[in-house]
Amino acid sequence: MTIVLGYDESPGASRALQVAIEYAATFTEALIIVYGAAVPGGTGEEYLVHDEAIRQNKQEALDQAVQTAEAAGVPATVEILAAKPDQALIAAAERHQARLIIVGSWGDGPIRGALLGSTPHKLLHLSSIPILCVPHGR
């Protein structure tokens, strides 16, 4: 089994990374660090160029997250998926038979999150896998 972390470089994701490392170490689980971004369109050269740009842009930050996990003794890998974040996290968690999905919050209130469709809010309603939402702190 594994633990899946949604990671996007936000302050909430940075705090969630630390919590995910603690849980992965406690359960002796591997950590799958997932970045999901739905690329506009779905076919053609423009789609491929946009998808590659996203991958290159996020790879350095994701590699740093892997190094942080591995420095703490937690094996970690990265998945960059061309899907909305909630869909990417659920798909990765199901594929890896995850014990838990961990995400950070941006600090939106419940009404704003519901109206704008925050990833944690969507996960709570769509996932059959337990969700741990880490507050971003101040």
Number of H helices, E strands in the chain: 5, 5
> What's the confidence (pLDDT) of residue 116?
44
**Mean local confidence (pLDDT), 31-46:** 77
Query: Who has greater pLDDT, 105 or 25?
Result: 25
Percentage of the chain modeled with pLDDT above 70: 77
**Mean local confidence (pLDDT), 37-52:** 65
Which of 3-7, 40-44, 121-125 has the least mean pLDDT?
40-44
Query: Who has greater pLDDT, 91 or 54?
Result: 91
Q: How many beta carbons lie within 10 A of that of residue 1, not counting itself? A: 11
Q: Residue 6 in 3-state DSSP?
A: strand
The answer to whether 37 and 82 are in contact (CB under 8 A) is: yes
Place 115 in a pLDDT band, splitting at 50, 70 and 90: very low
Query: Who has greater pLDDT, 105 or 29?
Result: 29
The answer to whether 19 and 102 are in contact (CB under 8 A) is: yes
Q: How many beta carbons lie within 10 A of that of residue 118, not counting itself? A: 20
Q: Residue 4 in 3-state DSSP?
A: strand
